């Protein structure tokens, strides 16, 4: 698995936010965090936006605060050694959180789950403390990107069709590797 981290700063610290990447899983049946924006200075790991492959091999978006969590699941089940475009987004308080895999949109979930104190981006794992990684992604991650907006359906579809993230609303693109 390949992962990177940026403990010093996060490209986006509040909603709206869109996280996007291509992912090719190798191992199935276990949780794998693809991208996570979170708070790691206050002693809690509860404040986060997290995009992951669940143990049921489905794309999942978790938006959590110290008091509650909202899950949004897709119904597409991933298989090993196949590329998937994964995208999750949150707008503002009580607006739908979205999870999309290869252009298929999960039922949006509306909830007041906007994490506070987001200060770190982790790609390919979850940072459980200042130095411990868990739920590492087994496989390849390509083109991770973060926008400070919730993209439109047309923009989401373009990414799933393979358009380079640099061409999708460049003024709102905060991070691309």
Per-residue pLDDT of 51-86, as tens digits, reads 889 999 998 888 777 666 667 777 789 999 999 999
Label each residue of 63-75 as H, E or C.
EECCCCEEEEEEE
Residue owning tokens 């936006």: 49
All residues at 6 or more sequence positions from 5 whose CB lies less than 8 Å from its CB, including other chains: 120, 121, 122, 123, 125, 127, 133
The pTM of the whole model exceeds 0.85: yes
Per the CB < 8 A criterion, the answer to whether 115 and 67 are in contact is no
Residue 4 CA: distances (Å) to CA of 1, 7, 137: 10, 10, 11
Average predicted confidence (pLDDT) for the chain: 81
- CA 68 – CA 71 distance, rounded (Å): 10
Confidence of residue 43 (pLDDT cuts 50, 70, 90): low
Q: Flag whether pLDDT at 171 surpasses 90.
A: yes
Per the CB < 8 A criterion, the answer to whether 119 and 42 are in contact is no
């Amino acid at each position: 698995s390949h992962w990177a981290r940026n403990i010093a700063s996060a490209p986006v610290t509040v909603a709206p936010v869109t996280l996007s990447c291509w992912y090719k899983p190798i191992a199935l049946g276990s949780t794998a965090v693809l991208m996570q924006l979170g708070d790691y200075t206050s002693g809690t790991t509860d404040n986060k936006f997290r995009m992951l492959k669940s143990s049921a091999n489905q794309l999942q978006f978790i938006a959590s605060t110290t008091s509650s969590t909202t899950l949004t699941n897709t119904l597409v089940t991933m298989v090993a050694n196949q590329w998937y475009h994964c995208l999750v987004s949150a707008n503002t308080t009580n607006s739908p959180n979205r999870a999309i895999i290869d252009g298929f949109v999960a039922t949006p979930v509306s909830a007041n789950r906007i994490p506070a104190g987001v200060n770190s981006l982790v790609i390919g794992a979850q940072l459980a403390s200042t130095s411990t990684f868990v739920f590492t992604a087994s496989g390849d991650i390509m083109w991770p990107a973060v926008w400070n907006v919730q993209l439109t359906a047309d923009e989401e579809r373009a990414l799933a069709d393979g358009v380079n993230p640099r061409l999708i609303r460049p003024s709102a693109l905060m991070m691309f590797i």
